[in-house]
Structure 1
Amino acid sequence: MYTGLQHLHSYLSYLVLLGLVISFIVGLAGMFGSKPFSDKDRKLSLLGLIPTHLQWVIGVILYFVSPLGADSISGAAMKDSVTRLYILEHPLTMIIAVILITIGYARAKRSIGENRGFKNIAIFYGLGLLLILIRIPWNAWPGN
């Protein structure tokens, strides 16, 4: 079960990044294009939201079944940068990124018919994407 979840979490990250990049670009284009945020644009922003939430749920499950997760929390683990990344830095940063992306979607959803919906998507999804890119454990990235 652990190995399957680990592979799913690793490969789903490609879909998360793709969805967030598409949503972010659409948000930027709409923000600078001065057009109103439509229901179609709201649905397009779900390309970033849904995979991110699915990835987060899988990550939470993985955190509690992985030997690198909750079981390895200790004072000594905080001195090792790789262990600290897996038990503290990666999960905490991803939670903040998911919260930002969710806030951006919720704010944009209430802005149908106004241009600020694009601004919300561009800012919040952009910040979430940046946090995700900063704290991905690149040494464990699929294909490395």
Structure 2
Amino acid sequence: MYEHVKNLHSYFAYFVLLILIIAVANAIIGFATNKKFVSKDLRISLFALIFTHLQLLIGLILYFISPFGMKMISTNGMGGMTSAQRLLALEHPFIVIIAIVLITIGWSKHKKQQTDKRAFGKIAFFYGLGLLLILSRLPWSQWLGL
């Protein structure tokens, strides 16, 4: 079961990152060109929100069945882990949860804006910040097979 959830979490991450990059790029372009915020823009942002939340749910399941989650912390303690183990057990989950909270805040704030430019700006800022946080804490060495 662990391997199946791990593979789902790893492969679904490519799709989540792609849709998140598309949402951020769409918002930046909309902001820069003073585009009207239409249903296509709404859907792109909404899909990015939904898929990041779905990825979080898969990640939380993985965290509690994985040997790198709570089991690693309770067995070795924080001082007994290598930097790679600490990344998987603490840094990645914690920072990604913060990133998804920021994405959710961006979704909520964009709906309250009076102008389309400000709506695009909220999406660009909060989704972009969330994307940067996620990219900063990906286990690149494992993900890319290095």
Greater displacement, 102-111 / 81-90: 102-111
Equivalent pair of 1:52/1:98 in contact (CA under 8 Å): yes
Gaps of 5+ in 1: none
State the shift of 1:110 in Å. Answer: 2.8
Cα distance in 1, alignment partners of residues 13 and 74 from structure 2: 28
Equivalent pair of 2:96/2:133 in contact (CA under 8 Å): yes
1:112–1:3 CA distance, 2 compared to 1 (3 A): farther
Q: Deviations over 1:107-135 (max 9, x none)?
A: 11233753211001110111000001110
Equivalent pair of 2:34/2:116 in contact (CA under 8 Å): no
TM-score by length of 2: 0.90
Q: Deviations over 1:72-102 (max 9, x none)?
A: 1148443421111111100100000100111
Cα distance in 1, alignment partners of residues 77 and 28 from structure 2: 41
Correspondence for 1:10: 10
1:31 and 2:31 aligned: yes
Equivalent pair of 1:42/1:109 in contact (CA under 8 Å): no
Letter in 2 for 1:32: A
Divergent runs of 4+, >6 A: none
Equivalent pair of 2:19/2:47 in contact (CA under 8 Å): yes
CA RMSD, aligned part only?
Answer: 1.7
Letter in 2 for 1:102: T
Correspondence for 1:139: 141
Correspondence for 1:40: 40
Cα distance in 2, alignment partners of residues 65 and 112 from structure 1: 45
Alignment of 1:83-98 (within 5 A): 83-98=85-100
Cα distance in 2, alignment partners of residues 137 and 121 from structure 1: 26
Correspondence for 1:118: 120
Calculate percent identity across the aligned residue pairs.
Answer: 50
Correspondence for 1:63: 63
Cα distance in 2, alignment partners of residues 112 and 7 from structure 1: 42
State the shift of 1:23 in Å. Answer: 0.3
State the shift of 1:39 in Å. Answer: 3.3
State the shift of 1:143 in Å. Answer: 5.1
Equivalent pair of 1:38/1:112 in contact (CA under 8 Å): no
